[in-house]
Amino acid sequence: MSRIFPKILASPIEYLKGVGPHRADMLRKELQISSFRDLLEFYPYRHVDKSRINTINEISAGTEFIQIAGILGALNILGEGRTRRLVSEIKDATGSLQLVWFQSISWMQRTLNPGFRYLVYGKLSFFNGEPQLTHPEMESFTQEKGPEAFPLQPVYPSTEKLKARGLGGRQLSKFTHQLFSQLRENDIPEFLPGQILESLSLTPRFQAFKDIHFPASPAAYLDSLNRLKFDEMFLNQIRTGMIKSQRQKNSRGVVFEQVGPLFNEFYSKVLPFELTGAQKRVLKEIRRDTATGKQMNRLLQGDVGSGKTMVALLTMLLAADNGFQSCLLAPTEILSRQHADHFRELLKDLPISVALLTGTVKSAARKKILHELASGSLNILIGTHAIIEDAVQFRNLGLAIIDEQHRFGVAQRAKLWKKAGIPPHVLVMTATPIPRTLAMTAYNDLDYSIIDELPPGRQPVRTVQRYEYNRPKVMDFIKDEIKKGRQAYIIFPLIEESEKLDYENLLKGYENVKAYFPEPPYYISMVHGRQKPIVRETNMKRFISGETQIMVATTVVEVGVNIPNASVMLIESAEKFGLSQLHQLRGRVGRGNEQSFCILLSGNKLGKDARERLNIMCETTDGFRIAEKDMELRGPGDIAGTRQSGILDFKLADIVRDKNILQQAIRSADRVLAEDPELQLADHALLRGQLMQERGKTVWSRIS
Ligand code: ADP
Ligand code: MG
């Protein structure tokens, strides 16, 4: 092994010639460079083109950086105190240019040799109208060729602290250059199969590392960047792909053998509509998974209103048909209750029991539920975090469904697993779509289903943006809708850092709404996080039953609530919301057959990003497009909690901008794994070795 993977890259950085223990310490602390490999992967953020040598008579008022080759003049110290400086000049065939140093004067005096030939590089400044270079880089022509020999000079990020100790970007480039003089091609083995290398015309790996630091041309630099980005994404894809197949191979799961009477009876007699093609396809995928004897670990993606809940219900019936209990975890009390009511209503004529368990369930009722769960007489449990508590023990939990994924931490979900001897099948339903490219990368190790079709007959929500000065008209519009028998949401932002302020805004907003909609004939519900649960419930119920026509709320209604009669979603201070939140909120309307409206009310002045967000909302109702746009605007790290997962910690690659490379990486990785799932072919030995070296990186091997 050691012959194939020489250990030189693992050497501590202090062993690099010219570094030593003291500087190594600073590099570690300031730049997290502790090994040769870290230095190798400490990439320049740009290059300076020094291939061109200017002449002094070329200098004009617009000149910025210049490089002059010439003879160094005499060194003179001028001035006192703060103006004390070392002054000289560089002379070429066309003229002379002044050079000035304010610092390291004695050192410069000692090392510079007047009368010798130098290459001088720096940023031009003008003093009293005269051009000069302050603290230029000086390179003696007699010196041995260092990193300066390369036309494109790497520029590395450094810190003020390091610069003050002589460890600026220039010194870093010397270290990197030194590193390459100690490395041989074998030290950075080529792990890509020749076929991939050739078909994609990728720069060989050693060359790529060299070129990213010291490229011979801009094209060589771009090629190296392309290659190293490819590697990051390719290795990620291989790694997660292997984790997935390992899990599929090793995990044990309960078997749902048959589709039984509960499922069939419900499907033929109760189901109030025809399933969409996408819903049917996903059910088939779930059915296939749960019959294999392996544990299902599936992410179900679908746009708001695409009917994920029905898929959940049918899967629970499948579990019950096979003698297993199931549970559905929802993020809020309101949502749990709504699911429970909905399920009970739909299942009332079937021999199956549904219970709701939340923090507010009284102790007697709670005892009863726990007893029924343990004895196995209860089939379906719906609830909030309360379900996860240790006291909650199932007789034979076979399926756990998690609605609106991102609100549960990984650790919380893991607790669910322990509630059964063989871990239950897990189905996680996302709240809003995740961009496809992100899902393919971040969730590659999961099984993944997608509902990409809305139930028929849905009219897209008509979305408009209005400014504060339009408010009276907007309110009149809502009045008209209420006259037609519809209901309206009015949503205020909730930003955690300024909770108190938001709360005050909400109350002010509520008073304002009341002024437009006096009681009677108008009745208003208000719902927010500071209310006692019972107050919130009551308000919610009155709106659901139609007693109140308007619901003033913070984003607590964001997730899942289903009130088909509501036709207006007015979002106050819409510019303060993120795209996925706006999309979620809009999804609360347009659930019935009537035309629905979403009004994005904003302050009179909008920033560029806010304007773009509101525009895209008005342009489309396609959650996948919105998710892609969101990722473009915010970067992938902020979407759906992937930042914590550590998976998308690419140093160079960016899954938004480098979509094409990503696609190549995915295709190549899939092909490799299809041919050799465990990387046992001789052709893949080096690839396998590379993965072993990178082990220890965080991965989401499971969603729960
Ligand atoms: P989400 O995917 O956002 O959780 P829901 O499951 O709440 O969506 O479904 C939204 C609405 O669409 C519900 O009222 C539901 O009853 C209805 N629905 C679901 N599937 C269909 C279908 N195939 N045909 C018609 N309506 C459907
Ligand atoms: Mg839902």
Q: In this structure, how many other beta carbons lie within 10 angstroms of the beta carbon of residue 212? A: 25
Beta-bridge partner residues of 500: none
Q: Residue 18 CB: number of other CB atoms within 10 A?
A: 9
> 697 falls in which pLDDT band (50, 70, 90)?
very low
Candidate from 301, 303, 309, 314 with most ligand 1 atoms within 8 A of CB, to mutate? 309
Which atom of ligand 1 has the smallest separation from the CA of 310?
A: 6
- The encoded tokens of residue 700 equal 């989401």
Please indicate whether residue 641 or residue 488 has the higher confidence score (pLDDT): 488
**Token pair 């078909």 in the structure block, residue:** 199
More confident position, 562 or 465: 465
The 3-class secondary structure across 70-109, one letter per residue, is EEECCCEEECCHHHCEEEEEEEECCEEEEEEECCCHHHHH
Architecture category of domain 52-150 in CATH: Beta Barrel (2.40)
pLDDT interval class at 2 (50, 70, 90): very low
DSSP letters for 577-631: S-HHHHHHHHTTSS-SSS--EEEEEE-S---HHHHHHHHHHHH---HHHHHHHHH
Question: Rounded to the nearest whole angstrom, what is the distance from the C-alpha of residue 321 to the centroid of ligand 1?
Answer: 23
Please name the residue whose Cα sits nearest to atom 15 of ligand 1.
Answer: 307
The sign one gets for the Cα dihedral 560, 561, 565, 566 is negative
Q: Which ligand is nearest to the CA of 590?
A: 1
Q: Which two tokens stand for residue 253?
A: 């799961």
Tell me which residue has its CA closest to atom 24 in ligand 1.
455
Q: Kindly indicate the confidence band of residue 700, based on its pLDDT and cuts at 50, 70 and 90.
A: very low
What atom in ligand 1 is closest to the CA of residue 403? 4
In this structure, which residue's CA is closest to atom 20 in ligand 1? 307
Name the least confident of 120-129, 168-177, 266-275, 409-418. Answer: 409-418
Q: What is the mean pLDDT of residues 666-686?
A: 93
Q: Which residue would you say has higher pLDDT here, 153 or 356?
A: 356
Ligand closest to Cα of 560 equals 2
pLDDT at 357: 95
DSSP state of 12: B
Indicate which atom in ligand 1 lies nearest the CA of residue 311.
Answer: 6
456 C-beta neighbours (distance < 10 Å), count:
8
Indicate where the chain has its CATH 3.40.50.300 domain(s): 261-290+306-430, 462-620
> Tell me, what amino acid is at 225?
L
Is residue 495's pLDDT more than 50? yes
Closest CA to 460 of 346, 598, 329, 602: 598
- Specify the DSSP class assigned to residue 202: P
Tell me the CA distances in angstroms from 442 to 282, 356, 460, one per residue in order.
Answer: 20, 33, 30
Q: How would residue 435 be classed by pLDDT, with cut points 50, 70 and 90? A: confident
* Residue 301 Cβ < 6 Å to ligand 1: no
- Spatial distance between the Cα atoms of 334 and 542, rounded to a whole number of angstroms: 13
The verdict on the CB of residue 562 being under 6 Å from ligand 1 is: yes
For residues 639 and 589, the model is more confident at: 589
Q: Which candidate, 462, 326, 468, 466, places its Cα nearest to that of 398?
A: 326
**Could you give the residue range(s) of every CATH 2.40.50.140 domain in the chain?**
52-150
Closest atom of ligand 1 to 275 CA is 23
Nearest in space to 459 (alpha carbons), one of 308, 300, 305, 571 = 305
The whole-number pLDDT of residue 326 equals 97
User: Residue 592: CB within 6 Å of ligand 1?
Assistant: no
Average pLDDT over residues 659-683: 92
Residue 590 in contact with ligand 1 by CB distance below 6 A? no
CATH numeric code, 462-620: 3.40.50.300
Look at residue 624 and tell me whether its pLDDT is greater than 90. Answer: no
pLDDT at 648: 61
CA gap 293, 282 in Å, rounded: 19
Q: pLDDT tens digits for 9-55?
A: 889 999 999 999 999 999 999 999 999 999 999 999 888 777 778 89
C-alpha 235 to ligand 1 mean position (Å): 39
Residue type (1 letter), 696: G
User: What does the alpha-carbon distance between residue 680 and residue 338 come to, in Å, rounded to a whole number?
Assistant: 51
Q: Which ligand is nearest to the CA of 271?
A: 1
Chain segment 366-382, per-residue pLDDT in tens: 999 999 999 999 999 99
Among 54-68, 305-319, 589-603, 646-660, the range with the most confident prediction by mean pLDDT is 305-319
- Buried b / exposed e along 153-183 (16+ C-beta atoms within 10 A): bbebebeeebeeeebebbbbbebbbbbbeeb
Please check whether the domain covering 261-290+306-430 is classified as CATH 3.40.50.300.
yes
595 C-beta closer than 6 A to ligand 1: no
| The token pair that represents 456 in the structure block | 């028929």
CA dist 50 and 152 (Å) reads 6
Residue 309, ligand 1, Cβ within 6 A: yes
Task: Give the pLDDT band of residue 699 (cuts 50, 70, 90).
Answer: very low
Contacts of 286 (CB under 8 A, 6+ apart): 296, 298, 311, 315, 318, 427, 449
The response to whether residue 591 sits with its C-beta less than 6 Å from ligand 1 reads: yes
Asked, as a colleague might, if the bond just before 520 is cis with ω within 30 of 0, I would say yes
Whether the pLDDT of residue 412 is over 70: the answer is: no
Would the pLDDT of 284 be above 60?
yes
Poorest-confidence range of 1-10, 505-514, 550-559?
A: 1-10
Ligand 1 and 335: CB distance under 6 A: no
DSSP-based three-state secondary structure for 318: helix
Tell whether ligand 1 has an atom less than 6 A from the beta carbon of residue 586.
Answer: no
The reported pLDDT for the residue numbered 454 is 87
Residue 275 Cβ inside 6 Å of ligand 1? The answer reads yes
The DSSP-derived string for 351-412 is S--EEEE-TTS-HHHHHHHHHHHHHT---EEEESGGGGSTT---SSEEEEEEESGGGS-HHH
Section 351-357 average pLDDT = 96
Query: Ligand 1 within 6 A of 430 CB?
Result: no
Instruction: Give the mean pLDDT of 378-400.
Output: 92
Average pLDDT of span 682-704: 67
Is the pLDDT at 407 greater than 60? The verdict is no
| Of 451, 445, 449, 373, the residue nearest 704 (C-alpha) | 445
Is the pLDDT assigned to residue 315 strictly greater than 80? yes
Out of 136-140, 200-204, 316-320, pick the least confident: 136-140
CA of 473 to the centre of ligand 2 (A): 32
How is residue 559 written in tokens? 């997730």
Measured in residues, the chain has a length of: 704
Distance of CA 402 to the CA centre of its chain: 20
Amino acid symbol at 621? T
Both tokens of residue 209?
């590392």
Alpha helices in 167-272 (DSSP H): 169-182, 194-199, 205-213, 218-250, 261-265
Mean pLDDT of the chain: 86
Which of these ranges, 28-42, 243-257, 307-321, has the smallest mean pLDDT?
A: 243-257
The residue whose CA is least distant from atom 17 of ligand 1 is 307
Structure tokens at 239: 């790694």
Q: What is the pLDDT, as a whole number, of residue 146?
A: 52
| pLDDT at 388 (0 to 100) | 87
Examine the pLDDT at 411 and tell me if it is beyond 80.
Answer: no
